[in-house]
Amino acid sequence: MKKLIVMGVGIVVLIITAGIAYQNYAYAKLAKEEVNALKVTVQQKDMEIAKLNKDIKAKQDELNSIKVELNDANKALNDARDSISKVIPLPAAPVAQTVNK
């Protein structure tokens, strides 16, 4: 009788252990699926980031070319101002005076 009780308790412990192991397996399987889904999401975000980095680089190149054009225009403007300030002023033409009679 004592042997049967020990064997029964052992079987119950074994069943409980098997149930816990199966539950852990199910959780692990679910976690693996979630990790795989997250990996896909991360890969998509990485591709979006790479595209945005490419767009940013293109915009930076465009801004740099505009900056060069603005610097050239500013230099031309300064050169024009310098040449205008070097022009010798002509003497003022005499103004004819009219006399009221």
Alpha-carbon dihedral angle through residues 10, 13, 19, 22, given to the nearest 10 degrees? -80
- Residue 95: predicted pLDDT: 64
Give the single-character DSSP code of 91. P
Confidence of residue 99 (pLDDT cuts 50, 70, 90): low
- Residue 17: predicted pLDDT: 95
pTM value?
A: 0.53
Confidence of residue 87 (pLDDT cuts 50, 70, 90): low
Q: What is the mean pLDDT of the chain?
A: 90
